[in-house]
Amino acid sequence: MPVLNRFAEMLPEISAWRRDIHAHPELRFEEHRTAAFVASKLEEFGCDEVITGFGGTGVVGLINGKTGSADKTIGFRADMDALPIQEATSLPHASTIPDRMHACGHDGHTSMLLGAAKYLAETRNFDGRVVLVFQPAEEGGGGARAMIEAGLMDRWAIQEIYGMHNMPGMSVGEFAVRTGPQMASPDKFEVTVRGTGGHGAMPHKGVDTTLVAAQIVVALQSIVSRNIDPMDKVVVSVCGFRTETATYNVIPDSAKLLGTVRTFDPEVQQQVRARIDALATATALGYGAVAEVIHMSGPPPLVNHEQQADLAAEVAEAVCGVAHRDLDPIMAGEDFSEMLLERPGAYLFIGNGDSADLHNPSYEFNDEAMPAGCSWYVTMAERRLPLS
């Protein structure tokens, strides 16, 4: 039976796993229930090794092929954590935990890799070893780096590693991957404005931090439009504006801005940081306030290795006939980039159909994508580790 047909038959089972995980979302490094669920399935499938608590709350499974040569090992990675979002889907399997939601599809990623694990453990139609990496804390928690520092690559002598993410708007069953830079480096920044609070009816007696912070928001919009080469891909977004005011007539002593910077080039990254510092401090000074800026580095840009990206596309074409290789780089970030600095590999997208966008309260992973995703993992394993 073709691999894709087998996973079509398994879809109700895999979908049930996904919906169970979806109903019980856990944030970064809190994925205790999810990790226990994953580990129990890997043990049930008969994996040769199952390690829990790896790099925090990570899980690693090992499957040896019919001829389990330790000299040939590839890794597949799925992420497990959810987001601090209140779900708005009203689905039967909607989140049971307030302000927690699988709004990025990590429940689907985990379930697809579990489906592939079950098949590979049954058939073992490959020569070598497959390492299944279930990573915690992808959403800004540094989970990939934590697993690397725990010895992921060296302990199992992983030679290549691959990952996958769903993409809303791309047809179900289709894949996309490019060689070279595919996703940006996601930095975070905070700007704290300090002034002199007071009565809203007498603003002349204080320094209005809300006004100052608002002016800084406007000033920061000039960075991309006026300071950066138009040929460079850069995003500067202010996404949060906080004050301590809880009523209508109090000017706060302080205000805080939260934002993100997305870049591909380290020199451009430093240029943007310098401009944020200069604009925030100078704008605040002009109004008689003080601004303090903190920059927090995210993972590096995700850069696919040429040979492995080509292989990923070839396998995608074998599975479903469609692999978009002309994908433009996107400004979202992904800490799988850390793993690609350690070993050759590639990260590809799988279509999620006409769904809400990622990180949206109405988002839902499309279970119909699972047969193609599971098939891709299995086909890649069998092609990269062929039986002689």
Report the number of distinct structural domains present in the chain.
Answer: 2
Residue 113's pLDDT is what? 98
Domain end marker among 296, 320, 352:
296
Q: Do 98 and 111 lie in a common domain?
A: yes
Angstrom distance (rounded) from CA 149 to CA 288: 46
Domain containing residue 110: CATH number: 3.40.630.10
Q: What is the mean pLDDT of residues 310-319?
A: 97
Same structural domain, 217 and 338:
no
pLDDT tens digits, one per residue of 261-297: 999 999 999 999 999 999 999 999 999 999 999 999 9
Could you tell me if 7 and 74 lie in one domain? yes
**pTM of this prediction exceeds 0.85:** yes
Domain of residue 287, residue span: 185-296
Tokens 């002199």 belong to: 196
pLDDT band at 1 (very low <50, low <70, confident <90, very high): low
- CATH number of the domain within which 263 lies: 3.30.70.360
Rounded Cα distance between 341 and 36, Å, is 29
Residues 167 and 225 in one domain: no
pLDDT for res 173: 87
- Report whether pLDDT(2) > 80: no
The yes-or-no verdict on residue 33 having pLDDT over 70 is yes
Q: Does residue 78 sit in the same domain as residue 28?
A: yes
Residues 145 and 278 placed together within one structural domain of the fold: no
DSSP 356: P
Cβ burial of 295 (10 Å; 0-12, 13-18, 19+) is middle
- Please report the pLDDT score of residue 67 as a whole number: 85
Shared domain for 169 and 100, answered yes or no, is: yes
**Tens-digit pLDDT profile for residues 131-161:** 999 999 999 999 999 999 999 999 999 999 9
For residue 355, count other CB atoms closer than 10 A to its CB: 20
Q: Quick one: 161 and 197 in the same domain?
A: no
Indicate whether 49 and 165 sit together in one domain: yes
Write down the mean pLDDT value for the chain: 97
Q: Using CA atoms, how far apart are residues 376 and 360, in angstroms rounded to an integer?
A: 27
Of 270, 296, 322, the one marking the end of a domain is 296
Of 296, 327, 346, the domain-final residue = 296
Q: How far is CA 168 from the centre of its chain?
A: 14
- Model confidence at 166: pLDDT above 70: yes
Q: Do the Cβ atoms of 68 and 129 come closer than 8 Å?
A: yes
Instruction: For residues 34 and 136, state if they share a domain.
Output: yes
Comparing CA positions, the residue from 62, 64, 67 lying closest to residue 387 is: 67
Residue 118, token pair as written in the block: 């079950």
Please tell me whether residues 278 and 322 are part of one structural domain. no
> pLDDT value at position 3?
86
**Residue 79: its H or E element:** strand 73-79
124 and 20 in one domain?
A: yes
